[in-house]
Every structure is written in structure tokens, then in C-alpha cells.
Amino acid sequence: MSSSVTYFAWGLAGAFFTLVAFPLAASSPYPTPKRPDWSIPPSQVASASTFSLASASSTPVLAESVQLVTTVKTLSIRRPIGDAPEPEADREIVTASLGGVPASEPAYEPRPVVRSPAIEDGAATPQERGSAALREIDDYLWEVYSRQPAKRDRGGDFSWKDPAAAKRMGKTMQAYVILGMDADFREIVYHAGKAMDAAGIEWTIVSGFRDDWRQSIASGIKARTGFSRHGGSVAVGGYGHGRAIDIGHVDRERNDDVWRWVDNNGAKYGLHRPHRSFDPPHVEPRVEWRRLASNLRRERTGGTAVAETNTRDTVEDVRSSRRKKVRVAHVGNSRSARGRRRN
């Protein structure tokens, strides 16, 4: 019985492969068109540039010929040299059509460059006016620095250090010592200096900007290299960002006159002496000094100069001031605790 069933199954399988599987595998997947309206007669194919649209319905229709390719003019783009507009004769526009429809107008047509009469006449730009306003400050601060050519402190004569640092950086003395300071800081020092001049105090800048190398050769009590507010790369960012100066009197015996004036009037100009006890000549800006510098610049220039306000620097100054207060309070509490333990 089981052998009969096996033979019968093999017979069905052979019949399936013979009658169904093999013919299906040997057949083409692309059937031959049976109806005449399913294909395009060869006689209607005119050229490679046209094609025929035929109806898929049973009713034969006439083929519609559509033109696909037309002549297109070569595109050439010419960029004007300088500020003069491009001549009309040199301008080329792409012309093309599809199916006999004329090309539309170009979407863009170059316009001539119009220059401001003020610029043509040689009038100063806003940047140039701002530069002139800064030169007024820079020249004044350099004159103040030069009031005392021989630079001396408790450690001796250090007049050679600023020239050596300027030469090492490839700058003039004025560019190194004065322009190395932050523009806002120069603004408030300028106004404070003018006020001291009006009060009859012959003040001078003993030390202005100092880069890391200049700080490394400084003597006496000083910040470690890179962390000086005079222009340390870590503390303030290096050249152009100095935020401290050392000042004194042209007559060194009268330095106290200058320092006393800063203590009494410096807040009006955003300045103070944070280290009066161990570094009395050192002057730095107070909190929110940039906003004050902006106001002073506006008053000086009539609102034509752009302020150098940097919000991030202002926030950092506030945080730095808070950290100093916390450190002072911590030191005071530690001393009080030690005193109580001793008692």
C-alpha cells in the first residue's frame, strides 16, 4: 500500500514539472503584442527627435508628434571687473524653447553698481571715523607714557624691557605698549587721565601692555606668566586685550598724589587699585566698566563711534569679582577660626 502511494506521488510531481514548471521557465517575460493599437507601426516613427502618443483604448487614434529637442544658445557668464557695470554688448541671455513655445524673459538682469557720492568724494567711512576717534586716545596715552622715558621701580631701571618685547613681537613701541590694551580700557583711562591733567597732576604710564614674554622678565611682586591682567594669554587673551596699567607721577616722589586721586575719583571712570598694599601702581577696571566706556565714547564722539562692549567679558568680570570676595571671606573665616582655637 505504501509503495503505491509513493509511486503515485512521484508521478504527480513529474507531471507538474513537465507540464507547468519547465514551460513557464522557458517562456519570455515580455509577451508579444496581440492587438495592433498596442504598438507603434514603424512607418510612424519619423526620427529620434519625436515620439508618438497612442491611445490605449480599442479605438485607433492618430499619433501626435511632439518636438523634444530645440537649439539652445551657449551660456556665457561675464563678471564685471571692479565697480563698473557690465557693458550691454557683453551680456548674453540663454534662449531656448520647448515645443515651439517662445522663451520667457530672463528672471534676473544685472544691475549697475551705484557708489555712494560720499565715498566717491573721499569722505571717511564709519570704520575710518572710529579709527580716527581711537587715534585720538592712542596718541594721548602714548604722550603720557613718554612723559617719563626712564622707567624705574623698586627693582631698578627696566627701560629696556618694553623695547625688547616690542621688537620681539615685531611692533613699534607705541603699537606694543598702547594698542596692546583693550579699546574700552583705553577709553576709560583716557578720560581719567584728562581729568588728572585738569587737576594739575602730571601723571604717567609706567607700564602698559605686557605679553607673556614681557611678564616673564618682569621683576618684583608679579603674576605668573600668562596670568597677568596687563595682557596675559590665559588671563585676558593676549595682545589687544590688556586690562591693567601701572601709573605714577612724573616726579616719583609724588606718586602718592596720583594714587590718591585714583582712590578718590577712579570709580567715576570705572577704575580702581585692587592691590594698594603690595602693588600700589597697579590699576584695573571695575565691574561693568565696558558699559561706562561705551557711554564715555558716545559723549566724546557724539555717538559716531561704535562701542567695544563685550557681554561675555562683563560677565567674567562680575564672576571674578565674586570669586575674589569669596576668597577674602574664606581667608577671614579661617583666621578667625585659628584665633578661636588659640584662645
- pLDDT > 50? residue 181: yes
Q: What b/e string do you get for 145-176 counting C-beta neighbours within 10 Å, with b at 16 or more?
A: beebeebebeeeebeebbeebbeebebebbbb
Lowest-pLDDT range of 2-6, 243-247, 312-316? 312-316
Q: Look over the chain and give the mean of its residue pLDDT values, rounded to a whole number.
A: 73
pLDDT at 11: 79
Cα Rg of the chain (Å, integer): 43
pLDDT digits (tens, 9 = 90+) for 141-176: 999 999 999 998 877 899 999 999 999 999 999 999
DSSP labels, 157-212: E-TTHHHHHHHHHT--HHHHHTTTB-HHHHHHHHHHHHHHHHTT--EEEEE----H
- pLDDT > 50? residue 86: no
CATH architecture of residue range(s) 127-309: 2-Layer Sandwich (3.30)
**What's the whole-number mean pLDDT along residues 52-71?**
46
- pLDDT > 90? residue 232: yes
pLDDT digits (tens, 9 = 90+) for 270-288: 999 999 999 999 999 999 9
pLDDT at 322: 53
Domains of the chain by residue range: 127-309, 311-343
